[in-house]
Structure 1
Amino acid sequence: MTGDRTDQYVVALSDPSATDRSITGGKGANLARMQTDLPVPEGICVTAAASRILLDDPDVREAIDRLEADRDGVDGNRAGETSDPNGGETNGGSDTVGESTASKTSEIAAEIRDRIDAQPFPDGLEETLEARLDPRATYAVRSSATAEDRADASFAGQYDTILDVGASGVPDAVRDCVASLFADRAVHYREENDVPHAAVSMAVVVQRQVDADAAGVLFTADPTTGRRTVAAIDAAPGSGEAVVSGTIATDEIRVDRTTGQIEYTVGDREGPTEHTLTDEEVRTLVAFGDEIEALFGSPQDIEWAVADGTVWILQARPITTLFPVPAQGIDDGLHVYYSFNHRQGMDAAMPPLVADYWRRGIENNARRVGYSPSGPICTPAGGIVYMDATPLLGSDRLAGRFFGVLEEADREAIAPLNDVRERRGEEFADGSVLGGLSAIRTLSTLVGFAGTAARFLGTVVGDLLDDSPAEFPARTREWGDSVAERLIEDVRTGETDRERVRLALEAYEEFTYEVPGQAFRIWSSYLYRGALERLCPDADAAFEALERGLRDNVTTAMMLELGDAADVARGHPAVERAILEECDLATVRDRPGGEAFAAAFEEVLDRYGFRAAGEIDFSQPRYRDDPAGLLATIRASLETGSEGDHRERIRRLEREADDAIDRLESVAGQGLLGSIRRRLVRPLAVRYRATIATRELPKYALSKLLAETRDQVLSAGDALGDAGVLDDRDEVWLLEIDELLAALDGEPIGVDLADRRAEYRRWQDLRAPRVITSDGEMVKASGPADPEADRLEGTPTSGGVVEGRARIVTDPETADLAAGEILVAPHTDPGWTPLFLNAAGLVCDVGGRMSHGSMVAREYGIPAVVVPGGTDAIETGERIRVDGTRGVVERLE
């Protein structure tokens, strides 16, 4: 190559303008930035302006418009599709629609490639290439799209790279690279990442090809574990293309970036089994990686080659598959973070405003009881709120208690937390639970604990003396309704959008002051059960029966009322047909008997319309916003159920509970003091059933408050949209709380909302870890379920055995779960409750014995097992057996 001359269509990588991605594309701009201080092969770039000439032909543009219209038409008309408030989409459409769409898209893309291949280059471009290329040299020609190598979407491997190109073959290779903009894989990737087809253009990098002795890929963070302090290298003899394409066994090298320690594993290749790289070459690569990561500000995926002892950098792009690291503590020690979302039985990413809401709420509660680790108590990462568990894990006594709580709430978290504690405990940050507290505050905290204990004891004694324990659930529901309504009235007293938003966001803290009085009643259930277990040892089956048939549990009551609405539909054939035909509520109402059904259905909405799937994420629509999911549940019940079967099921479970109490009395009546022991059983058992029936009521009340908070935030979004501050009201979820309040005060928004939206969408594509460290390690003490295994082992959460067809459900709003099918879900919360009306069994990816899905499964008599990765291992339609007593899922076909 000769000279650094710049023109409209060709620019040298060494030219300052080459760092502009709008000119040289993502790959070219990155290479140009690195070339100043790093060993990058010299090269030129055919600019994006040249590709735009090829794309600007009317026939090409028309075909691109058809491709975009095809995507828009499918997005707007997919059967059963819903859109989330932040721009994400969930497709419930049929496979036939998907296959037809893919075929049409592929045809249009092929047409565009053919048309590009037929286009002439801009005048003078081929002559310029001929003048600047060495006819004796061999070149690597690499696609460099303007929308690639971004932090939110790398486009890695989507476009063409052509190696071993002679100078005379470069123009054709350039044209092939431009045409690869519309390779099927690239078109699909853009659609998945919401990048318009017309918004991208292609620059093409042309570099002297390195005659490599060895080549491979360097990741500046370990892509397997996520650890940012470990660099990972894949290396093999020869060119890097074989490494990237996976056609050759590579050496696998791990380097501790803090100590320099190297772990080297030689690949299983033919020929001599010697190291591809020397230790010096490994250290040189890692040092270059450190520089490149610092240059671009994030972990990098780097292609490299070694020729005659010289290390060359061929390209670099962000690693987009890494889960973000929670904020580091103020010290240099290792911090271990546990997911609040997983504790709530939900591993889906939340938008920034919602994550910030929970961060604040959890921190306020933690500080109230004196929990004060070094650094933030909790911090959002990837749309998940993580709590710093380091002080708990650093103490043998506290770790034991912590694991005891998790045994009931989230058993799957114990193994990874204990694993990192045993492997890396010496690296933990120093700090205690009460670190940083003054003596006065510590004393105040202890006094507070004593007061809490006294109130708890008073609640237990009061309940034992109460001769009407069956009224506990009704009284607790009255409390929940009154607290929520009072707080909502307080929120609505605000005179401006800003004031109402502030009051709504702060109401959670006030709510948490109200909860303990009712939480004591829930906690007392453990005392009742403990006493019963002492009186009646070895009677586990009877205890499980006591937890079923709780018609006064608020979630069970919701299912029963929804079943009653289905029975109203059964009484009116025209209404039943309309629902089975998937008509909306307005159409159903117009059928004979429709008013009666609509009244019953709207009564359910009046009582429970504030609930939703994934309801702690209050950006998500509530039932009252979109009742289609509830109608789908009724439709499934009409298809496979019968009148009154939901009520009969509860009555059967209540009879079984009464029988269980009789059995417990019989067991207690044996032996010394048997007659006295026997008389204690029924009062304790009745109170146990009454108290566990109140477990969901605090969350029920909180859900009312969250629905009001959602309404106020959206109202603020409307105001900011009307003022031109936001493009649409749903962008309000992309702001953090202080940013929203400042915007309502008239201050400019100092963040790029397009970047926030793209970042949030990337979070939604990541699988959030339950446990992660401050250096990015995603701790997994055990792997997910094996898709090939006939037997999947997990945590038993609701006893019994059932066989049936599996149905994978990721969005309960669009699911049609037929009676007798086994629900397989990533998580469940109260918003999933309607599906339990038809489910024969439950398999969840996350949760514990005390998570919502498990409790409702027990109350409704449904066997349930938590199997990490179950939704990946099991397929819809597959016949499985769920053993909720042993914690096993067996594949029968």
Structure 2
Amino acid sequence: MADYIKRLAQLNGDSLPEAGGKGANLGVLMQAGLPVPPGFVVTTGAYAAHLQESGLPRRIGQRLQDLREDELTSLEAASREITAWIAGSPMPAAVREEISGAWEGLGEETGLAGELAVAVRSSATAEDLPSASFAGQHETFLGVYGSEAVFQQIKNCWASLWSPQAISYRLSMGFAHLEVDLAVVVQAMIASEAAGVMFTANPVNGNREEVLISAGYGLGESVVSGLITPDTFILSKDGKLKERTLGSKESKIVLTKTGPVTEEVPLSQRAGYCLDLKELTRLAELAQAVERHFGAPQDTEWALCRGKIYLLQARPVTTLSGAEADLKILGPEDQIIYQGKKAPLGLQSVMEHSPYPHKPLDFASFKHFYQALNKSFCDAGLKPPKQEIEPVERASGCVAVCYQTPSLSPAVLWKMPPALIKECCKDTEKSWQALAREMQDWLKRMDEATAQSNDRQKLTKLLQQALRDYEKFTFQRFAAVTPAGGWDDLKLKYYIKKAVGKESAEDFKERLMRALPFRTALQNKGLLKLAQTARLQGEDSPAFARELETFLRDYGDRPSAGMGRMIAPPTWREKPELIQELIAALGSAAALPSPEESDTRQAADLEAAQALIKKGLGPKAYRKFLQILDKVRDSVIIREESVFCLEKVAGCLHRLALKIGSLLAGERVIAQKEDVFFLFLEELEEGAQGSQKLRERIEKRKRAYAQVYAAHETGVHWMIATGSFPEFVTKQQQKKKRAGEEGAGVELIQGSPASRGVYEGPVCIVRNTAEFTKLKPGDVLVSPYTTPTWTPLFKVASAAVTEIGSAGSHAAIVAREYGIPAVVAIANVTKRLQDGQRIRVDGTKGSITLL
């Protein structure tokens, strides 16, 4: 028998392809032990079988041939025909049989075999239908009785995939119509006396310590659809009522034996609140349970029936706002000391390379990494920081880090010259190769030791030693590689200026760095190959599976966030959905460039630049120029490769920490293995000894982390113990900004130049990986920052603008590699601009102009 049915209790977060977003999410809620009404999902396979048996794929394809998204009348006509074909075609016997069995089983489970009423709800697959794209376009049917009615409403849900809006959207996005699937949720209806929505954080004022509830009589549809003005309640997280507002509640939707009907609410009921204090307290308890499970504020739907509260849905809250709430992560004595003021340069570097909130265990790797970096600076004569790098936990559970940068010292005068001489004389490639072999041997030994042991205490000691080794490798990496090419870089610039003049020097320097086979460029070639295979042969093909396996073998240890210096972020191997998002972003291009075409184009640009340099230099000088150019290009490759190898070491630390987390979760010391990242390194020993006191600390930190991350998503980047990251604006930038504002009628926003060139085009704001598919060819990529995960977007975008960064940041390096203009360090640019707004990006001057 084909697998056309899944019970909700069988589903989880990995069920998106077969159950769609709603179905998978309900399964996650059930798996968490939350009170969800029973039901089942008619999988996407059933929909595909229905089309195939009715011979509809070819028929639909022909009907949509040559259809354009702007031809509204033709779209509506096509939609009417296709929906009639799907709704009118007989359902395959095998699908009917499985649905009948599931229907009977649901009747027995609920004890309502002859009177069971269900909701039949469309559930779009997340891979093909991004979460916000089809809101409200697919059908939901409430109060459905009897198997025959269920069969028909399931077909009506399938048919709703072909609404005019959905067809138009797919045309505009370049989706292949017949590759988009729909699952259907069939769930027992709750004949609720009261129902509504509940936010586990207040979306109105941004307060994450408040619960906001909207409620009305009858089914929740009257609240969700805006049919009534509901009662509104604001509670503290512990369930204490802070505020309530009486709604008019003139009508209610009730479930009858013939389906839902709308009735008038008696005046006596309208005059009172539909929930009492006991019910509100229980709702607040449910809010805490849901938020605790997901680790972030949730928007939920609920229903109250015969004294029991049911959870009908939960989604992340995406509308939290308000700087006031963001700053509540600070205590009453805490201050934001750098806001609007000049900050130590080292903090900007930290922000560029670690631009996301860290979990407590992250600060162990943070400490060892930056101790190694500071040691290398001190060897060159700088003065060590007065304060050790240590994590700090505030009363709220928010964890940050005390960090100070090395400062200038007279010792620079006698330590720096020998260091520079040593730098000029060293063989960077030889030094790096020796270190790379040592790191590879270490990785093999460490993974073997991790796999062979299930002793929590032994593995905890192994992690402590591994972190010390990480610090050693980091120090050796800076000694071997940084500032590799520094002296040669100066000599290269000298020859370029001599050949083409000072004005053109920077442009030629960028062109001479094209066609570099550095690690991130090789990674991007692999992703392009994956995208091509997906487009030509499909993501279900053996060819794609082979390419994906090869790609993950090479790049699976890359972190899903940041630059790989922390322990907590999952790797690409753990989150293959990131690869799918990247492929989808690349696939949005009408003509996907092949890796070979890209290489050829960049090599031609490099060759043309070299030819012009040759014309401006004599034969002897040109030979010296080529020698220096090779050394500088090699130094870039080595620098990128060394970062990649440190990421592999950090990936090994991540696996080791997860192994410890699995063992602790198995002994119920912590709730789930990922909770290990909410412990300090020192607390792992407590956990290894079986301490049961860690759970409360973890939950407190998780709540605080959710606040910090929500603030981060709105542009408040907070990880240093002294407060929020500042806006890094120099006096020169401020002068340029003022000059622009006093200019002739256009708004000029000054940042820092990152990649030369000028481009005018529409803004596309991308804040995280989930928004990758928004970007279209010709767009200006506007984001808070970029990391190696974001690299493929530079193939699609025509220019880039970031809130964070410098000329040496990831966005700048990759933009220069692909020859697109880029401007960095424009504070809050993702808030100041809007999607579709046209701007001019001047990467040479470091500014953007609003057109």
Superposed, 1:258-407 pairs within 5 Å as 320=328, 322=330, 339=347, 342-367=350-375, 369=378, 371-377=383-389, 379=391, 385=401, 387-389=403-405, 392=407, 398=408
Distance 1:644 1:829, change over 3 A: closer
Aligned equivalents of 1:555, 1:826: Cα separation in 2: 20
Match of 2:786 in 1: 828
Aligned equivalents of 2:383, 2:691: Cα separation in 1: 35
Match of 2:424 among 457, 460, 467: 457
CA contact (8 A) 1:734 1:756 kept: yes
State the Cα deviation string for residues 140-167 of structure 1 (Å, max 9, x = none): xx977341699xxxx998x5599xxxxx
Aligned equivalents of 2:331, 2:638: Cα separation in 1: 37
Matched, 1:539 2:504: yes
Shift of 1:456: 0.9
CA contact (8 A) 2:800 2:821 kept: yes
Match of 1:485 in 2: 440
Matched, 1:517 2:480: yes
CA contact (8 A) 2:238 2:284 kept: no
Match of 1:857 in 2: 815
State the Cα deviation string for residues 473-497 of structure 1 (Å, max 9, x = none): xx78856753432221342446542
Equivalent pairs: percent with the same residue? 19
Match of 2:801 in 1: 843
Match of 1:708 in 2: 652
Match of 1:811 in 2: 768
Structure 2 residue matching 1:889: 3-state secondary structure: strand
Aligned equivalents of 2:702, 2:606: Cα separation in 1: 50
Match of 1:655 in 2: 604
Distance 1:367 1:632, change over 3 A: closer
Q: TM-score, normalised by structure 2?
A: 0.57
User: Aligned Cα RMSD in Å?
Assistant: 5.4
Match of 1:292 in 2: none
Aligned equivalents of 2:423, 2:840: Cα separation in 1: 42
CA contact (8 A) 1:713 1:732 kept: yes
CA contact (8 A) 2:401 2:720 kept: no
Matched, 1:729 2:705: no
CA contact (8 A) 2:365 2:567 kept: no
Match of 1:889 among 831, 848, 851: 848
Give the aligned residue type for 1:354: D
Equivalenced residue count is 583
Matched, 1:766 2:711: yes
Match of 1:131 in 2: none
Match of 1:752 in 2: 697
State the Cα deviation string for residues 420-440 of structure 1 (Å, max 9, x = none): xxxxxxxxxxxxx69xxxxxx
In structure 1, runs of 5+ residues without a counterpart are 1-62, 83-90, 117-141, 163-170, 201-222, 227-300, 302-317, 393-397, 399-432, 435-441, 464-471, 580-586, 670-674
Aligned equivalents of 1:557, 1:777: Cα separation in 2: 36
Match of 2:297 among 193, 199, 210: 193
CA contact (8 A) 1:501 1:716 kept: no
Shift of 1:736: 0.8
Give the aligned residue type for 1:366: N
CA contact (8 A) 2:369 2:470 kept: yes
Query: Greater Rg, structure 1 or structure 2?
Result: 1
Shift of 1:519: 2.3
Distance 1:771 1:147, change over 3 A: closer
Shift of 1:556: 0.8
Give the aligned residue type for 2:468: E
Match of 1:588 among 527, 530, 541: 541
Superposed, 1:661-740 pairs within 5 Å as 661-668=610-617, 677=621, 680-740=624-684
CA contact (8 A) 1:337 1:774 kept: no
Match of 1:631 in 2: 580
Q: TM-score, normalised by structure 1?
A: 0.55
Aligned equivalents of 1:352, 1:743: Cα separation in 2: 15
Give the aligned residue type for 2:553: D
Shift of 1:710: 0.8
Distance 1:813 1:115, change over 3 A: closer
CA contact (8 A) 2:474 2:646 kept: no
State the Cα deviation string for residues 297-324 of structure 1 (Å, max 9, x = none): xxxx9xxxxxxxxxxxxxxxx9626489
Match of 1:93 among 128, 131, 142: 131
Aligned equivalents of 2:845, 2:37: Cα separation in 1: 55
Match of 2:750 in 1: 793
Distance 1:520 1:555, change over 3 A: same
Aligned equivalents of 1:639, 1:771: Cα separation in 2: 34
Structure 2 residue matching 1:388: 3-state secondary structure: coil
Give the aligned residue type for 1:607: D
CA contact (8 A) 1:804 1:822 kept: yes
Structure 2 residue matching 1:109: 3-state secondary structure: strand
The 10-residue stretch of structure 1 (799-808 or 759-768) with the greater mean CA deviation from structure 2? 799-808
State the Cα deviation string for residues 317-368 of structure 1 (Å, max 9, x = none): x962648988999xxxx99796467543443211111123202432354256
Shift of 1:857: 1.2
The 10-residue stretch of structure 1 (618-627 or 854-863) with the greater mean CA deviation from structure 2? 618-627
Shift of 1:522: 4.2
In structure 2, runs of 5+ residues without a counterpart are 1-33, 42-118, 143-189, 198-212, 219-231, 248-269, 305-321
State the Cα deviation string for residues 741-762 of structure 1 (Å, max 9, x = none): 3322445545522111111111
Shift of 1:199: 13
Aligned equivalents of 2:702, 2:365: Cα separation in 1: 18
CA contact (8 A) 2:708 2:718 kept: no
Aligned equivalents of 2:121, 2:629: Cα separation in 1: 54
Asked which structure has the greater RCO (Cα within 8 Å, sep 6+), the reply is 1
Superposed, 1:31-50 pairs within 5 Å as none
Distance 1:346 1:889, change over 3 A: farther
Give the aligned residue type for 1:375: Q
Shift of 1:662: 3.3
Match of 2:589 in 1: 640
